[in-house]
Amino acid sequence: MRLQMMGLGLAAVVVGAVPALAAGAEKPTFAKDVAPILFEKCVSCHRAGEVGPMPLTSFTEVRPWVRAIRAAVTSRAMPPWLADDKPGKFSNDPRLTAEEIATIANWADQGSPEGQSQDLPQLPALADGWRMGTPDIVYDGGKFDVAAEPRSVYGDLPIKTNFTEDRYIAVAEVRPGNRPYTHHANVLIKDDSGQARVASFSPGAGAKSYPPGVAKLIPKGAELNLDMHYNPGGQPRVDPGTKVGLIFAKGPIRQIAITAQSGTNQLDIPPGDANYERVGRPFEFKEDSHILALIPRMNERGKDFKYTLVYPDGTRKVLLNIPKWNYGWVFSYVLAEPVAAPKGSRLETVAHWDNSAANKLNPDPKARIGFGPEIMNGYFEYVVDAQDLTRSTQD
């Protein structure tokens, strides 16, 4: 799953030129120059109990990995990110700046000195086990025995919220009970509200949060369903209990975040086809709206994915282009600024799959593949401009 992790031969990656340290310039140190970058951009994943394969919270932990870190950041393999730069900016883009990359590279090239302890910043306050902070409430999906299949074992785990009133969610996070063998986990509301998707776990994804005044609604009495996808690698596995953490909105709620999609389940990928194309069902906005986030989903044979907003006058605007899909890193792309989608606009998606032997992730290039083993879920979240609940929460 972690195809681009540090420590897996990345030290041998051929990288581009990095600006050299100017003559007479002070050598960068871990404490003063490198730790601030790692603490801000890396330790949310690279710490005990998280997805990173090694912790990077101290000089002692970082020192054995200096060359691999240099190779990973200069090649931009780390932090991972799949979106093309051209369409726009995303608030959860984790990539390092050119200056940050040069700092790490020069530090490594200058012998990676530790520096003075008084220059070392404090580690960020990250709640143990949660990237979101401390949840207001936690649900446990319970123990699940995963069958000994090579891949794709699914589980639907019901969760009772016991909410006696509508609840508004500001932040949500899913914590897999057996992370190494969990590819994804989705939390869905089991009702007819049309707001079904609450949170998800996938490689590279963090907690789901909303801007002030926007929240996800979990209606009174609604049940949740924890939709699990495991890749057990041919051995029986046990999920001791995947957890769902929620933080309730603490202020007035004006708009409800709605989850919709432009995708299709009409997939019929021929054996060996290296560039199979499908166009998703367009989603038409019935009211003036703003798009908050784009959440594409494909599996191993995924090749690329694109979202395009088509305005009522026919003008087209690409919102997200993923030119090279990577099943090992599945993100939600949160727009830095919500994009206006006037009434009558359409959100369209197009994707390609590589079912050939050249795709190293392909489990079986001789198989004809339909929906299930492969997916085209072009989820997105939006709000309706005219909605104004102006409802104060009591939390």
The bridge status of strand 223-230 relative to strand 153-160 is: antiparallel
pLDDT of residue 151: 81
Q: Give pLDDT, residue 7.
A: 38
Distance CA 270, CA 338 (A): 38
CATH, range 252-395: 2.60.120.230
Alpha carbon distance 280, 217 (integer Å) = 27
Of the candidates 246, 260, 267, 264, the residue with the CA atom closest to the CA atom of residue 294: 260
Joined tokens for residue 43: 């330790």
Q: Which CATH class name applies to 127-250?
A: mainly beta
Phi, psi for 191 (deg, rounded to 5) = -155, -170
User: Measured between alpha carbons, how far is 201 from 215 in angstroms, rounded to an integer?
Assistant: 19
User: According to the model, what pLDDT value does residue 8 have?
Assistant: 35
How many whole angstroms from its chain centre is CA 222?
26
Query: Please, what's the b/e burial string for 263-282 (b: 16 or more CB within 10 A of its CB; e: otherwise)?
Result: bbeebebeeebbebebebbe
Closest CA to 327 of 373, 379, 281, 367: 373
Predicted confidence at residue 13, as pLDDT, reads 38
Specify whether the CB–CB gap between 301 and 353 falls below 8 A. Answer: yes
pLDDT of residue 14: 38
Q: How many Å apart are CA 27 and CA 388, to the nearest integer?
A: 55
Nearest to 43 by CA among 71, 9, 69, 15: 69
Measured CA to CA, the distance from residue 141 to residue 238 in angstroms comes to 13
* pLDDT the model gives residue 234: 93
Domain with CATH 2.60.120.230 in the chain: 252-395
Closest CA to 320 of 312, 331, 329, 311: 331
**Which residues of the chain have a pLDDT value below 50?**
1-16, 194-195, 394-395
By CB neighbour count within 10 A (0-12 exposed, 13-18 middle, 19+ buried), where does 76 fall? middle
